[in-house]
Structure 1
Amino acid sequence: MSHTAHIPSHRKPRRSAPKTALRAGVAGGVLSTIAVAGAAGPAQAEPVTQTIEMPTLTSGLSTSVAASAEATQQVALDLETQAHEDAAATSAAKAATKAKAEAVRKAEAKKKAEAAAKAKAEAALRASRSEARTTLSASGSTAVASSSSSSATGSAASVIAFVKAQVGDAYVSGGTGPNSWDCSGLVQAAFRTVGVDLPRVSQAQSTAGTQVSLSNLQPGDILYWGGAGSAYHVGVYVGGGQFVGAQNSSTGVVQRPLSYDPPSGAVRVL
């Protein structure tokens, strides 16, 4: 063995033959490609002049934007219109509620006023009847005394006799005898017996003669209930504070004291 065999060598290790050949081939191929490109380059190189046209979007975009703006404006107008309509409806509802409340208030006030007027009229009527009863009681006493000293004569006596003869007959609306009467039918028939032709109805009979005071009655005077010219009932004063009349369907023709149903006034025909 050599005396230097154990010392490592300072030379680079040799590459293997296959690797060296491969690298050389690759390098040579690259260089050849570059050379060919360099030779052909100046003759074939031309500038690229093709222009690519992009689609025009301006027209369609404008139409779309305009349509969108118009739709937005229409929506705004619709919302504004709806707001006005809602406000008008609210205002109308408030006005209707207020008007209804006012109408109810007026109706209630009118009802109260009518009730008060009715109560006042009824009170006045009661007072009037009470006064009439007092007057009739006094005049009745006077009439009784007068009747005791003198009785009806002539035509008045005939009228009184006729009405007294019908006491107990039936009351029938529109009745003119001989066995059923209404109030004015009885009075008309009684005066017809003495040749006096009276109107048929109570209203006209209450103004057929001279108005006399209830405190100055004479036998044969016509009594009426209600106003002169608007009376709803009539009868005949027979003296002694009594009258005869066809009252109603329940009582028929009756003789009663004046206090039983105080009349409103009287007329003298005889």
Structure 2
Amino acid sequence: MSHTAHIPSHRKPRRSASKLAVRAGVAGGVLSTLAMAGTASATPAEPSAETLEMPVLDLDLGAGVVSAVSTAADNSRAAAVEGELTAQEETARTGAAAQAKKAKEDAQKKADAEKKAKAEAERKAAAERATRNDGRSSLTLKNTTNNDTPTKATGSAASIVNFARAQVGKAYVMGSTGPSAYDCSGLVQAAYRQAGISLSRTSQSQSLAGRSVSLSNLQPGDILYWGSKGSAYHVAIYVGGGKFVGAQNPRTGIVERSLSYDRPTGAVRVL
């Protein structure tokens, strides 16, 4: 029997498995240290009857886990915020592009509408200028020759004059070129067509046809115009005897009038 058998054991009750595992690791390290110290010592140590009590190492494993989880959560929140900001920026860019496109389309529509309104206003103004008031004061033509003296038209001029007079009483319709209705330039164009002469369609271009002649030296078949040459708003045909035939306006239709009724601005001769 061992000479220490009579010494009661001081071993404590068993610890939990987790603490035993930690103690085992620590004990291994301590025993290794003691073994190295014993080897270096010159005097052998006396055997001890006491059981070594291993220190309990309480590791705060939860703090590390909490820290890691907190860091991961912070990273997730930061990533979410960054993603949200990126999405907001993209939405803002998309919205700005859409607004710019809409603004451009609205501006183009407004410009088109203004252009159309301007053209319509000019057309109405021309039609109003062409409208003649039968009750207005007559204008006297000052000229050096007697345009009231009947002049007989011959050749192509006769064809033009006869056609124009044959249309008197028909309706005035803007844009019409016959045979039941005409506007001013449509009548002049149709009359010249009877003489085999092709004229442009508008009063502006007809006022540029042929060569300019004085209102005091008119001949049957000459084209009379009102307004500036090249931008005339009304035309008619001089038929001799100080008179003209023209498609005046929707109220009067095609009429034959004296030059004193409404003095032309100028005249051109194509024949």
Q: TM-score, normalised by structure 1?
A: 0.49
Structure (1 or 2) with the greater helix fraction: 1
Q: TM-score, normalised by structure 2?
A: 0.49
